[in-house]
Amino acid sequence: METVYQIVLDNAVAITGVLLVLLIVGPYLWLYTRRTKKVLARQKEAEEFGLREPVTIHPRVNRDVCIGSGACIKACPEKEILGIVHGKAETVFASRCVGHGACARACPVGAIELVFGTEKRGVDIPQVSPSFETNVSRVFIAGELGGMGLIKNAILQGQEAVQYISESFRENGYKHDDEIIDLLIVGAGPAGLSASLQAIQEKLNTITIDQEDSFGGAVLSYPRKKLVMTRPAVIPLYGKVSKKEFLKEELLTLWDEIAKKTSLKVAIGEKAIESRREDGFFVVKTAKREINTRYILLCIGRRGTPRKLGVPGEKLPKVMYRLLEPEKYKNQNLLVVGGGDSAVEAAVALSGQKGASVRLSYRKAAFARIKPDNQKRLDEAVASGSLTLMLESTVKEITEDAVILERQGETIKIPNDAIFIFVGGELPNAFLQKMGITIETKRGTR
């Protein structure tokens, strides 16, 4: 009897144990499977719309090391760059990554590294050392041109590059010279302005030039009220900027304030055309003069010169490659061309102007690289009727009062007062190669 009783008891304990395990593990397995299916579905969607293929810098996960903690996902300030699939992190909408690096820093086991390009899509990056020096001695690169477009990163790189330059200047035994400046900084975006301030701090005799009519770099080309900075930064000679978010106008106002406070000077409207090496220094020819300098720091953007459509009528005054003041275009027929964030942001900004008739033309069937917030604003503008999408369309000709497009074999002529073209920029590769700088095509490497 005791034996039967013991068997029943043992079975009851075993069954209870199994039930407890199922109660505990079951919900976890259900959640685990559900989350994996959701991420796989989003990956499939990303692939269908071309959003899984990264544009430039992005995270690469070592699945052999990853423990699936999810810390990388929580740390990322963007949306759905990473997701958990079968207990391991994987990229989802990789094309939306802007290189914050927060995922890599948050990973408890170091399973993530940031890389440029993929096997399918290479990214051209100038060859630079950890000290930002190119293969051409005493020529340095910082900021977006080197692959880091995030403003906070650009500010930090500009500062660090000048620190290395100052150290090299002393090690080489150079002296300040009235005929040869110590450093020429080309570009006055976030990296260039930070570098210029650090150069003042390092007491380097420096000239900063920029081809635009105002400093600010790529920020100048953004529509009004665009959120351009989302992280606090420390700026040389000025200190910590504790505010976390800056709109375009706020950041440009901050730069003006810093320039006045620090007596920073920038030669605007002066483009570097070419450079040649002399005995111990460089001669840089600009549109206005020749500058003799010991060191060169390139802080120019990757966009370079705006890419043109190459169609008849593109030289008309109504054709523009950036939007500064949307409110000037009330009651006009407007066309925006492009499929990236800049094009979408411009189109949405214009669609908010009273009486404006706005169309957005893109040659593909879907947008491939826009941020989720921009997609939401775009959908809202289209739903409200203030913006008309013209997907799978290309501009064939621009006239004084119209634009001729081709869409799925059909020729369409639409009335037009102004056209805004956002189809990227031509990298300054020719300028770099003429200087002797090696450009590497990165395919999933640092």
Q: Which class is domain 313-424?
A: alpha beta
Identify the pLDDT of residue 48: 73
Q: Identical fold at 144-305+428-441 and 313-424?
A: yes
pLDDT of residue 238: 86
Q: SS3 string of the chain?
A: CHHHHHHHHHHHHHHHHHHHHHHHHHHHHHHHHHHHHHHHHHHHHHHHCCCCCCCCEEEEECCCCCCCCCHHHHHCCCCCCEEEECCEEEECCHHHCCCCCHHHHHCCCCCEEEEECCCCCCEEEECECCCCEECCCCEEECCHHHCCCCHHHHHHHHHHHHHHHHHHHHHCCCCCCCCCEEEEEECCCHHHHHHHHHHHHCCCCEEEEECCCCCCHHHHHCCCCCEEECCCEEECCCEEECCCCEEHHHHHHHHHHHHHHHCCCCEECCCEEEEEECCCCEEEEECCCEEEEEEEEECCCCCCEECCCCCCCCCCCCEECCCCCHHHHCCCEEEEECCCHHHHHHHHHHHCCCCCEEEEEECCCCCCCCCHHHHHHHHHHHHHCCEEEEECEEEEEECCCEEEEEECCEEEEEECCEEEECCCEECCHHHHHHHCCCEEEECCEC
pLDDT of residue 124: 79
Boundaries of every domain in the chain = 2-116, 144-305+428-441, 313-424
144-305+428-441: CATH superfamily: FAD/NAD(P)-binding domain (3.50.50.60)
pLDDT for position 6 = 64
CATH 3.40.50.300 corresponds to the domain 2-116: no
Contacts with 370 (C-beta within 8 Å, 6 or more apart), sequence order: 339, 340, 341, 344, 378
Mean pLDDT per 10-residue interval, the chain, length 446 residues: 60 64 61 83 79 78 92 84 90 78 89 83 82 94 76 87 96 93 93 94 95 75 68 83 79 87 89 90 93 95 78 94 87 95 92 95 84 87 96 96 94 96 81 88 76
